[in-house]
Amino acid sequence: MGLDLPSMNAFLITNIDKIFVYDSETYQRIGEMPITLLKTETREPNQIIAIRKSKDDRYIACISGKNLIMKQQKPNQLFIFKRRPARDGETKDQFEQVHRLRVKDIPIFNKVSVQFYFKALPPGQSEYTTLIFVK
């Protein structure tokens, strides 16, 4: 999966258990976000199955889980990453994991679609606190 980050002049690409950040002009890799997958106990492997960004490109959320038959998906974890300014030796801002939630242990997440988005920020608020999911 891919995702554009125009405010950073970058884009994201997922690959099983990593999210790679690339520069949109040079196509050079400028960052990486590792995802700790749960151990699988069935034949379907766990992998990143959904990724979204906040409207201002400061937050990235991804869901890991399984792609099943008949285009069904079984989410098991939710990861939230927050953008931080570039440090010494870095050319672009980077993302750091700030939350990890095992959604497979939360009953309401059974049969929830992996279609979700960040709820818009109310006036005066600077941090996102809500994700909205489709059931």
- Please write the tens of the pLDDT for every residue from 97-106: 999 999 989 8
State pTM to two decimals. Answer: 0.90
Residue 63 lies in a domain: yes
For residue 135, pLDDT beyond 80: no
User: What's the domain count of the chain?
Assistant: 1
CA angle 102, 134, 101 (to 5 degrees): 10
Residue 103 lies in a domain: yes
Residue 15 lies in a domain: no
Range(s) of the domain holding residue 45:
41-133
